[in-house]
Structure 1
Amino acid sequence: MNRWNVTGLIIVGFITVIAIFGPLLAPFDLEHHVTPGFVTDGAGEQQYVAPPLPPDRTYWFGTDVFGYDILTLMMHGAKYTLAAAFIVALFRVVVGAGLGMIWGYYRKGKQRARTEGNLLSGIPMFVVVLFMMYGLSINSTLSPLTLTVLLGVVLVLLGLPAIISSTANKTRQIQEQQYVLASVALGAGDMRTLRYHILPQMKESLLILFLHELILTLTVFGQLGIFHIFVGGTLMQRDPVLFTSLTHEWAGMVGNAKGAIGPRDWIFLYPMLGYVTLIFGFFCVSKGMEQSFRNRYHKVSQL
């Protein structure tokens, strides 16, 4: 196991622990918030306090404009960010790779396979998702779980064509190997060939693809967050106009706080730091896996 793998697994493992046990370890209840009013300091003097409060010994990450503890919100919202990205990436790879292997195995037109699945390649994915989800997500009557599932379904469907196309091409390359042709010539059926010859050759590629899809999904969450489309739904408050993530997932907290850069930058900084760290963790695992697989199959010339 190389340094990239170790670094990535430590980061991802730590955030996974937060996602699972965060609500139990959070310093405050989710409903706890600071209200404007006078408080007495250590010298016996009264001071007027109103959110947002900067980081201090009580609120390590400070509070947002509503007075909610940012650390508590992040520890409650981590599970939505991690679980949603994991499930979307998993369904994309499992469904896309399955269909791609079948399509590539039975489809003989190679040139056509290179162009299929690229109808939306010129349009950024988040733009398509934005138009599809904007009317549903903001002040929706649907539950956060339902909105998360709908967003996941849209992201899975939009990501399938590219995975099907690339997997189909990879399947054809393996199908042309001599040992596969020999097995078919000896009477191996289609399902046996797919299961025992093609799938084992693609396991490592699919693992790397899964990690890449995780990173891509998290990136799309961040792009959507800029336009106030948050995982689990968005609550919009008028006069003044404020957007809040209903699930407090990290990309939503970043998008919600983008206007706080400046004198209240802690509202944006800590969610952004957590969000970028999560993406970096998966990037490290992906890079480490690629290096491990490359070293395993690297052949040294014999003298």
Structure 2
Amino acid sequence: MFIKIHEPSEFQQFLLAAEQRLILNDHDDMKLSNYLRGIAGESLFYELIKNTDCIKLWDFHLKYRGSSQYDFLIWHQDTLLHFDIKNFTGHYKIINQQFVSERDYVHTDVTSQLNKAHYKLESFLKHQQMASKVISKTVFINPDFSLAAENIPQHVILPQQSQKVAEFISSIVPLPIHSTYAERMRMFHYSGAHYDRIHYYPFDSYTKGMRCDKCRKLMMQHQPKKRYVRCQHCQHRSDNKTAMIHLLNEMSLLKNDSLTTAEVSQWSGFSKATVRRLLQEICAKNGANKNRTYQLPEVL
């Protein structure tokens, strides 16, 4: 059972909405690339363990004597298992305890990051009087990763070992105290959103279009006289209302303001009459007649 799963921050949602719509500045482009690579790896691990019964947290940000982030925390008996997921690809070797790619790129933070998070978690549990010891592991989840080393560090789990790890996690029997601890820990979670400030681009600079919620291409097109839209890339279908809600979420994030019927019609390809009907069903209205704008309620 997952007590908490990953939810993108507002900044991450903004970057996802802007993806493919314009050329991002260097800072945003790097942040988006790192996020997409990281969440792709974490999603692979999530799929392996999502149906297990044990008590789990995914993407936990601990606010305690500073801050630290944990990809997956899983309770087993009197132990809290900490898995840090790395989505590296290619051939690596270990030099002076650092992971070095075949292009000689040195990842200096793999082991130090794990150790720092490990000790911070131990200190937190002791301070909160949660009787759990901590075991921390780095999971290289991508099957295209390989490590040339005579002695694999004890904290490293290689891609070919991930299935056995998932089988072990599947065998864990949850205890009532695990849920109690997880709920208490969730009270110390924070989004970390204040570290990332959104740089808003001119709204008219974005490429218009509806994004497919499956392949994420901007190729979802309205089907005349149909109650659904279809992706021209992967052929995924979505009903008009669901597709409109996805589009309105993206447009609202990118514009940082309420929307007009004309704007939504241009981005969606729906007629103004259809857009107006859907907006009146979905959104809150501001103003009247030609000055009327629409805003999504926060619950969406």
Per the shorter chain, which TM-score range?
Answer: under 0.3
Which has the larger strand fraction?
A: 2
Larger radius of gyration: 1
